[in-house]
């Protein structure tokens, strides 16, 4: 079974530029999560999708961050414009309702550096 | 609100030493508890879990018991190996299925031979 795929793995941009990350969850997993992991901290939820609907985006900085999951499979997370404090690893995870959501499977992450 | 507190690292041990990483939580209701591990250069992966009080999760020689009376889920291993060097995260989800994980800050373990 293929795992959660993310790209790119690394991205370096200057502040005020835009950036987008892509995630492909495990096949059949209806629930998809984006987490932000700042160096030295645990991951923090940005947004959660159930199929193509948003379940929780309460911690997403909506003035600069946006995310979509148009067909209920792949997802993109965008930052526009980026700030220095957005430097972090962005993790995508997925889980299955059929498996009771007892485990979230994580992708390798995208490491973003904002200069 | 819901939160997880785990012991500060780094933890440095010699091979075959006993490991304990403390984790306590604050949550309403009956959360599920998890330990995730992140090996160098790899993604987060589930190490073990417990979904109700007094459950013991175990995997790869690691164990943790869900203690509701002390709101704790401490990670233990009787004899660590160099290959156990990694960052360990304690986490919880609320008792509703399909809710996001709330993580502690992580504890770095370094094991030397």
- Tell me how crowded residue B3 is: count the other CB atoms within 10 A of its CB: 12
Query: Is it true that the peptide bond before B110 is cis, omega within 30 degrees of 0?
Result: no
Round to whole Å and give the CA distance between A55 and B15.
Answer: 44
Q: What is the mean pLDDT of residues A27-50?
A: 94
Residue B51 has pLDDT above 80, yes or no: yes
The length of chain B, given as a count of residues: 113
Show residues of chain A in contact with B102, CB under 8 Å. 45
Show residues of chain B in contact with A55, CB under 8 Å. 98
Round to whole Å and give the CA distance between B8 and B109.
Answer: 10
pLDDT given at position A2: 81
Contact B66, B55 (CB under 8 A): yes
Q: What is the mean pLDDT of residues B86-100?
A: 84
**Bridge pairing between strands B107-112 and B11-14:** parallel
pLDDT given at position B43: 87
pLDDT given at position A97: 74
Residue B98 has pLDDT above 70, yes or no: no
Chain B touched by A9 (CB under 8 Å): no
Q: What is the mean pLDDT of residues A45-67?
A: 94
Round to whole Å and give the CA distance between B19 and B1.
Answer: 29
What is the DSSP secondary-structure string of A57-107? Answer: -TTS-TTTEEEE-TTSS-EEEEESS--GGG-EEEEEEEE-GGGTT--PEE-
Q: What is the mean pLDDT of residues B1-27?
A: 94
Residue A1 has pLDDT above 80, yes or no: no
* Percent residues over pLDDT 70 in chain B: 96
């Amino acid at each position: 079974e293929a795992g959660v795929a993310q790209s790119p793995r690394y991205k370096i941009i200057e502040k005020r530029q835009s950036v987008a990350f892509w995630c492909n969850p495990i096949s059949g997993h209806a629930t998809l999560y984006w987490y932000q992991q700042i160096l030295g901290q645990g991951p923090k939820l940005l947004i959660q999708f159930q199929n193509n609907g948003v379940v929780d985006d309460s911690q997403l900085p909506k003035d600069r961050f946006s995310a979509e999951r148009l067909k209920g499979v792949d997802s993109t997370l965008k930052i526009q414009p980026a700030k220095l404090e957005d430097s972090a690893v962005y993790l995508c995870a997925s889980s299955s309702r059929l498996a009771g959501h007892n485990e979230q499977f994580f992708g390798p992450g995208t490491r973003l550096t904002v200069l | 609100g819901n939160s997880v507190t785990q012991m500060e690292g780094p933890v440095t041990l010699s091979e075959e030493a006993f490991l304990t990483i403390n984790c306590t939580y604050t949550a309403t209701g009956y959360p599920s508890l998890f330990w995730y591990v992140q090996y160098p250069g790899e993604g987060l992966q589930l190490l073990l879990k417990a979904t109700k009080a007094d459950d013991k999760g175990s995997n790869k020689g690691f164990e943790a018991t869900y203690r509701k009376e002390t709101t704790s889920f401490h990670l233990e291993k009787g004899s660590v190996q160099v290959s156990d060097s990694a960052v360990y995260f304690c986490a919880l989800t609320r008792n509703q299925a399909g809710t996001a994980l709330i993580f502690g800050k992580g504890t770095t373990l370094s094991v030397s031979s």
